[in-house]
Amino acid sequence: MIYLDYAATTPVDSRVFDAMLPYFRESFGNPSSIHRFGQKAEAAVDAAREKVAAVLHCKPGEIIFTSCGSESDNLALRGAAIAKRNVTGKKWILTSKTEHHAVSKTAQQLEKEYGFLLEWLDVDEYGAIRPISLNKAVCTDTVLASVMFANNEIGTINPIPELAAIARANNILFHTDAVQAAAYLDVNVEKLGVDLMSLGGHKFYGPKGVGALYVRNGTELIPQMTGGGQESSLRAGTQNVPYIVGFAVALQLAMEERDARIAHVQPLRDHIIGEVLETISDSKLTGHPESRLPNHASFVFKDVDGNLLLQLLDSAGFACSSGSACKTGNPEPSEVITSLGTPRNWALGSLRITLGVDSSPAHVDEFLKTLPILVEKARGLHQR
């Protein structure tokens, strides 16, 4: 089986795994305990926080550990929007339909259940939010804008520093979901200029079940999980020490090895894009041709059932993914793909191929040899 779905999740790096192991049995204490077992666990969490802060170029106290990127998104949007509205009365939220559902559905809930007003930002043909789009939407009553750093489905990278500068000039909180971006892009928050940023460990060879939220000093948050005073009283619950340790090591490795990892995956990505567009009729790249994640290739194929194509690929020994809701039983094209203005008979045939440290030229060649045959097979079955 050849794995080509690194945007969905990554295997835990062996160095990360080794760093985590002692905190399951040997140093198993609760970081909130006073005794030496607790002190050792607390020291591990503190060291992890410092490691993450060093990568992000922020203060350790600006890092909140969470259970995943989705929780970080939820805490950022709900926590910051409510806290800011309590002080200013402002209630407009700006985001886009190309966001991960952890952002877009949270924004919709804030509108429906909490009395906020929601405006969807315009995206360009590549699914990017341009500064002109944010400028046009900003008003004196805007409380928060949330734009992802890089899109998980189509790989497009957004111009976060420019967008954050517009938000800051208008006294608007700015959040970015960097869950997909952190594996390959610089997440220096001073360069980005963001107030809040979400990360998830399993996208960069860390464990599933742990994430982080950067919160710039002075940014007020209403906790979404209440109880103990963990994480500066912003996220109650016993800290998951081994996972937090693993998260920090994985993020540090992602920064240290970024250039080498990009050099490995980008030529393979470019080869996939070139060959697919050349060898498969009625195929189209989705997302930006250049300003995209270095490991990410995504396409739509006319008159292809994307879910069927995934099943055929799986049977042939390839793990990929699609933009459509493939487990609902009633597939609909994803909002990301339709936001690009893609017609339905194309949008249903989306395919995402994402590469990683174990991807090889042989894997890619095998995939490129198989895909055209399976696309034609899927088209034949679709037309019956």
Active site residues: 326
Exposure string over 266-303, b if 16+ CB within 10 A, otherwise e: bebbeebbebbeeebeebbbbbbeeebbbbbbbbbbbe
C-alpha span between 165 and 192 (Å, rounded): 9
For residue 133, the one-letter residue type is S
C-alpha span between 109 and 106 (Å, rounded): 5
C-alpha span between 301 and 347 (Å, rounded): 8
Residue 59, both tokens:
């203060």
C-alpha span between 272 and 129 (Å, rounded): 26
Q: Strand 211-215: give its sheet, edge to edge.
A: 63-66, 211-215, 196-200, 173-177, 142-146, 92-95, 117-120
Write down the number of H helices and E strands in the chain.
Answer: 16, 12
C-alpha span between 288 and 138 (Å, rounded): 25
For residue 154, the one-letter residue type is I
For residue 242, the one-letter residue type is P
Give the DSSP H or E segment for 117: strand 117-120
The tokens 């929007």 sit on which residue?
A: 81
Cβ–Cβ < 8 Å for 30, 43: no
